[in-house]
């Protein structure tokens, strides 16, 4: 699943039209990046949390949504965006490959946290 148009991706995400099986970690990061380009951090977190909860429920696993992980990843993405003016998500992803690792937060926090 690679929607090339960011507006279409965000619309599909917020309207619940995405297939959870076709929404890998990289797309989580992409949606986060695009939300932060359009909204303040609190608004982006609100939209991201709502969309991810919807995806988790659609997948039959509402317990899979984790607020702390969502906020922590969004914070890292926002911090990186604030330091450099990226042309687009592809440049952002290329220059921040660590954010494409789903287990990145384990470098900062033990699993119990």
Total tally of structural domains belonging to the chain:
1
Tell me the per-residue pLDDT of 81-96, one tens digit each, with 9 for 90 and over: 999 999 999 999 999 9
Cα dihedral 30→19→8→13 (10° resolution) = -70
pLDDT at 110: 78
Q: What is the residue range of 44's domain?
A: 6-107
Is 113 contained in some domain? no
The pTM (predicted TM-score) of the whole model is 0.91
Q: What mean pLDDT, rounded, does the chain reach? A: 93
pLDDT tens track for 33-61 = 999 999 999 999 999 999 999 999 999 99
Is residue 1 situated within a structural domain? no
Q: Shortest CA distance to 111 belongs to which of 71, 69, 70, 80? A: 69
* Residue 111 pLDDT: 74
On whether residue 112 sits in a domain, the answer given is: no
């Amino acid at each position: 699943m690679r929607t090339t148009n960011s507006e279409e991706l965000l619309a599909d995400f917020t309207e619940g039209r995405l297939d959870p099986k076709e929404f890998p970690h990289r797309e989580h990061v992409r949606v986060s990046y695009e939300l932060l380009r359009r909204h303040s951090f609190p608004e982006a977190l609100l939209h991201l949390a709502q969309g991810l909860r919807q995806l988790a429920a659609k997948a039959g696993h509402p317990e899979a949504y984790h607020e702390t992980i969502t906020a922590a990843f969004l914070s890292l993405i926002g911090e990186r965006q604030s330091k450099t003016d990226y042309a687009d998500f592809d440049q952002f992803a290329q220059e921040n490959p660590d954010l494409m690792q789903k287990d990145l937060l384990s470098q900062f926090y033990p699993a119990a946290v």
